[in-house]
Amino acid sequence: MSNAVLPVYGPSPVVFARGEGVRMYDDKGKAYLDFIAGIAVTSLGHCNPVLVKALTDQANTLWHTSNMFRVPGQERLAQRYVDLTFADYAFFTNSGAESIEGCIKIARRYHWSKGAPERIGILSFEGSFHGRTLGGINAGAQEKYREGFGPRLPGFRSIPFGDHEALKEAIKAPDLAAVLIEPVQGEGGVRAVPDQCLKGLRDLCTEHGVLLIYDEIQCGGGRTGKLFHHQWVAGAEPDLLAAAKGIGGGFPMGMILATAEAASGMAKGVHGTTFGGGPLAMAVGNAVLDVMTGEGFFEQVRRVAGTMQQGMESLKGRYPELVLDVTGAGLLRGLRMKDDPIPLRGKLSDRGLLVGTAGNNTLRLAPPLVVTEDDVREAIDIIDQQFASMMTAAGS
Q: Is 9 inside a domain boundary?
A: no
Active site residue 251: no
Strand order across the beta sheet in which 323-329 lies: 323-329, 332-337, 362-365, 356-358
Q: Is 5 inside a domain boundary?
A: no
Catalytic residue, candidates 245, 298, 375, 387: 245
Looking at the fold, whether 20 and 94 belong to one and the same domain comes out as no
Q: What is the DSSP letter of 264?
A: G
Catalytic residue, candidates 91, 92, 125, 129: 129
Residues 136-152: what's their mean pLDDT? 96
Final residue before a domain boundary, out of 259, 292, 325: 292
Looking at the fold, whether 171 and 35 belong to one and the same domain comes out as no
pLDDT digits (tens, 9 = 90+) for 22-37: 999 999 999 999 999 9
Looking at the fold, whether 94 and 133 belong to one and the same domain comes out as yes
Domain count, the chain: 2
Looking at the fold, whether 167 and 311 belong to one and the same domain comes out as no
CATH number at residue 192: 3.40.640.10
Looking at the fold, whether 79 and 104 belong to one and the same domain comes out as yes
Looking at the fold, whether 205 and 61 belong to one and the same domain comes out as yes
Q: Is 6 inside a domain boundary?
A: no
Looking at the fold, whether 211 and 335 belong to one and the same domain comes out as no
Q: Is 4 inside a domain boundary?
A: no
Average pLDDT, the chain: 97
Q: Is 3 inside a domain boundary?
A: no
pLDDT digits (tens, 9 = 90+) for 179-220: 999 999 999 999 999 999 999 999 999 999 999 999 999 999
Active site residue 203: no
Note whether 102 and 283 are within 8 A (CB): no
Report whether pLDDT(1) > 90: no
Looking at the fold, whether 27 and 98 belong to one and the same domain comes out as no
CATH number at residue 346: 3.90.1150.10
Catalytic residue, candidates 215, 228, 239, 387: 215
Q: Is 247 inside a domain boundary?
A: yes
The reported pLDDT for the residue numbered 394 is 86
Residue 224's pLDDT band, with cuts at 50, 70 and 90, is: very high
Percent of the chain with pLDDT over 90: 98
Q: Is 164 inside a domain boundary?
A: yes
Looking at the fold, whether 287 and 303 belong to one and the same domain comes out as no
Report whether pLDDT(354) > 80: yes
Active site residue 245: yes
Distances (CA, A) of 117 to 113, 123, 243, 329: 8, 17, 27, 38
Looking at the fold, whether 230 and 120 belong to one and the same domain comes out as yes
Instruction: Determine the structural domain holding residue 207 and report its residue range.
Output: 50-292
Q: Global pTM?
A: 0.97
Final residue before a domain boundary, out of 271, 292, 313: 292
Looking at the fold, whether 161 and 273 belong to one and the same domain comes out as yes
Q: Is 361 inside a domain boundary?
A: yes
For residue 288, give the nearest of 81, 125, 2, 70 by alpha carbon. Answer: 81
Residues 323-343: what's their mean pLDDT? 98
pLDDT digits (tens, 9 = 90+) for 47-77: 999 999 999 999 999 999 999 999 999 999 9
Looking at the fold, whether 309 and 286 belong to one and the same domain comes out as no
For residue 42, give the nearest of 221, 171, 215, 297 by alpha carbon. Answer: 221
Final residue before a domain boundary, out of 245, 277, 292: 292
Report whether pLDDT(396) > 90: no
